Amino acid sequence: MIEHVENVSQFDEIISTHHLVLVDFFATWCGPCQMLSPVLEEIDEKGESEATIIKVDVDLDGNSVLNERYGIRSIPNLILFKDGEIVRTSLGYIPKNKVLEFIGA
């Protein structure tokens, strides 16, 4: 199940305790974000990747520090972390096959 992060401490705990984490920075009003969401849900539900997938709503006050920390200016913005370090980023909607390539699945 994809977890929705609501604050910095929750985010930091997930990043530090999971080997591979795909973070989706999104907003509920964002059309491309709405298109990407079911793609990520399908990947997660079908177990098509070993990555833990989390979502960060850029409009939540508790996430403003994360927006600044990672320079989030446009969404959707995917960031892949491996052992707590950023390994790649992607901006904008990408289809399922590209998400799986991005994760390395």
Q: Which residues have a catalytic role annotated? A: 30, 33
Would you give the distance in Å from CA 67 to the centre of its chain? 12
Cα(46)–Cα(25) distance, integer angstroms: 22
SS3 of residue 29 by DSSP: coil
| Rounded Cα gap, residues 71 and 51, in angstroms | 22
Structure tokens, 57: 């709503």
Please, are residues 60 and 51 in contact by the beta-carbon 8 Å criterion?
Answer: no
